[in-house]
Amino acid sequence: MLSLPSDGEAVAPAHAHAARYFTRPGIAYVPIRDAPPARWALIWRTATESTLIRALARVAADIGTLAG
């Protein structure tokens, strides 16, 4: 997704940590101070789903339940 804004083709929201971990020339991160807290979601292509992906999804769901 970061290639689109850096190519001048899009504007996209990003989580605050993106500025720290995904710095790229040509991308400016501007805080959206009044935005509601964001939530994360794990996504994958169903055509490539595997037992490993399903296991990762279960672990992510379990961690989310514990943290939430």
> What is the 3 state secondary structure string of the chain?
CCHHHHCCCCCCCCCCCHHHHCCCCCCCCCCCCCCCCCCCCCCCCHHHCCHHHHHHHHHHHHHHHHHC
Q: Which domain holds residue 28?
A: 1-34
Same domain for 26 and 3?
Answer: yes
Which is higher by pLDDT, 66 or 46? 46
Query: What's the confidence (pLDDT) of residue 53?
Result: 94
Same domain for 49 and 29?
Answer: no
How many residues are listed for the chain in this entry?
68
pLDDT, tens digit, for every residue of 1-36? 667 677 777 888 888 888 888 888 888 889 999 988
Same domain for 10 and 23?
Answer: yes
Query: What's the confidence (pLDDT) of residue 56?
Result: 94
- As for how many domains the chain has, the answer is 2
